[in-house]
Amino acid sequence: IITDLPAVEFYDFEPDTGDLRSEVIAGLSSSPKYLPPKYFYDQRGSELFDQICELPEYYVTRTELGLLQRHGEEMAALAGKDAVLMELGSGSSMKIRTLLAALQPQAYVAMDISKDHLLGAATQLAEDFGWLEVHAVCVDYSQPWEFPYQKQGRRTAFFPGSSLGNFEPGAAKTLLSQIGDLVGRGGGLLIGIDLQKDVTVLEAAYNDAQGVTEAFNKNLLMRLNAELKANFDIDNFTHKALWNPAQNRIEMHLFSQIQQTIQIDGHKFNLAPGESIHTENSYKYTLKQFQTLASSAGFETLKVWTDDDDLFSVHYLQF
Ligand code: AVI
């Protein structure tokens, strides 16, 4: 009997692989073809994403961490002690570690779509922070969700990493409104937002020299092979990320190198040489653009922190 495992309260919303099948078929039936980026994060994809965060070209993670370390006390003062702290897309729950001592929340709720990754990270956190009440919720937070958690007290959402950038502007506004409903009036949102900058810096961050982002992108196809019995041969695809200046976003693509036919569940999809499967958008904002978006979702900006090179921003918003 294992008696000394730290207690993590676990809620499983069982995000549906039925959604995966229908969303993949819809995406590959479209013109141009696309796949939803939320499906990057199976166990392997989550591991690859953690590696991306360590890459020299991927300034996002270390710059945000620097801001959390440098201004943590100020962030905590705005959030107030004893809040219920809820992280969307908690992944490895690494960044929150920087803030826990200052924030002193009454509980931490990790929310993520990748169940094994979520449970591993939450258990480790509970072990490392013995005083902290830890909850783990396996959920696709991009879908409307009802949260069963009854704990009273002020809520603060934590949404780091510029993950909001992976949502289309309309969906980003909807998600911010949902976060507003989650934290309630007077609740807070501490959110990391990547900023517009030199194209070469942006493109390098998504076309790293070691090919980790390429592996991350192609892992999506391997997942579809494993879970939907698709027949992608990943060697017939080329990873490429490009800045789209009209839309203010980095686009990730998998370009078909040859004429090929992909089969999934009785459906056939033809790909011409050079044809793309568009797998991700990563929108980059100006401070002003993001504040306008946040206020359209009912949030007021109380404070913004940026690094000296204006690469990245962290915002404290109040609903
Ligand atoms: C999770 N998200 C904010 C990352 C980004 O930068 O858009 C995902 C990513 N895709 C390629 N590299 C990193």
> What's the pLDDT score for residue 141?
87
Backbone angles phi, psi at 250, to 5 degrees: -85, 130
Q: pLDDT tens digit string along 15-50? A: 876 689 999 999 999 999 999 999 999 989 999 999
The pLDDT, as a whole number, for residue 150 is 72
Mean pLDDT over the full length of the chain: 94
pLDDT tens column, 81-130:
899 999 999 988 999 999 999 999 999 999 998 888 899 999 999 999 99
Give the pLDDT band (50/70/90) at residue 140.
confident
* pLDDT higher than 80, residue 235: yes
The torsion defined by the Cα of 292, 293, 296 and 299, in degrees rounded to 10, comes to -90
Contact between 154 and 28 under an 8 Å Cβ cutoff? The reply is no
Question: Residue 206: CB within 6 Å of ligand 1?
Answer: yes
Which residue's alpha carbon is at the smallest distance from atom 2 of ligand 1? Answer: 163
Q: Does the beta carbon of 282 sit less than 6 angstroms from any atom of ligand 1?
A: yes
Nearest CA to ligand 1 atom 7: 282
pLDDT value of position 264: 96
Give the distance (Å) from ligand 1 centre to CA of residue 96.
18
pLDDT of residue 17: 66
% the chain with pLDDT above 90: 85
Distance 282 CA to ligand 1 centre (A): 7
Does 214 sit in the ligand 1 pocket, CB within 6 Å? no
Q: Could you write out the DSSP letters of every residue in 194-252?
A: EB---HHHHHHHHS-TT-HHHHHHHHHHHHHHHHH-----GGGEEEEEEEETTTTEEEE
Instruction: Give the pTM.
Output: 0.94
| Ligand 1 centroid from CA 252, angstroms | 10
